[in-house]
């Protein structure tokens, strides 16, 4: 009898695990070698606006900064030495700023300096 209860409990837990995993918040990114899931509804540059935004960055001749770390969503940029710029309203209203680091354009949360989007 005890083995049947344990077996039923194990089956119920196995069936409920995918449902519990789907209920978790969506990950914006994992730092240092993990995979990155991009959420386009968070106030960043929309997919259809990204080519025009990249062209804008090239036209503006934004200085590029070099850091020793990889540029990934969730990474934090140095406190000094990097200049952040406002995103023009033509690309959507966003609380984030942009800069170019290691050849990649990134959106950054200004207070924490955390990268919230790498504009590919």
Q: What are the pLDDT digits (tens) for 26-78?
A: 334 334 443 334 444 467 888 999 999 999 999 999 899 999 988 999 999 99
Q: What is the pLDDT of residue 93?
A: 84
DSSP of the chain: -HHHHHHHHHHHHHHHHHHHHHTSPPP---SSS------TTSSS--GGGHHHHHHHHHHHTPPEE--SS---TT-B--SSS---EEPPGGG---S-EEEEETTEEEEEETTTTEEEEEE-
pTM given for the model: 0.63
Q: What is the pLDDT of residue 120?
A: 82
Q: Please, what is the average pLDDT of the chain?
A: 77
Instruction: Find out if CATH 3.10.450 is the number for domain 28-119.
Output: yes
Instruction: Name the residue ranges covered by the structural domains of the chain.
Output: 28-119
Please determine, for residue 17, whether its predicted confidence score (pLDDT) is greater than 80.
no
What is the average pLDDT across 96-106? 94
What sign has the CA pseudo-torsion 52, 57, 61, 67? negative
Q: Which two tokens stand for residue 58?
A: 């090239």
For residues 74 and 16, the model is more confident at 74
């Amino acid at each position: 009898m005890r083995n049947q209860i344990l077996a039923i409990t194990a089956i119920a837990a196995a069936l409920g695990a995918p449902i519990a995993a789907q209920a978790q918040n969506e990950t914006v990114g994992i730092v240092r070698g993990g995979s990155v899931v991009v959420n386009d509804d968070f106030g960043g540059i929309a997919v259809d606006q990204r080519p025009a935004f990249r062209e804008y960055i090239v036209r503006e001749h934004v200085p590029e900064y070099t850091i020793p770390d990889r540029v990934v969503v969730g990474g934090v940029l140095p406190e000094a030495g990097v200049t952040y710029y406002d995103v023009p309203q033509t690309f959507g209203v966003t609380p984030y700023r942009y800069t170019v680091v290691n050849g990649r354009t990134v959106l950054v949360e200004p207070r924490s300096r955390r990268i919230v989007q790498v504009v590919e």
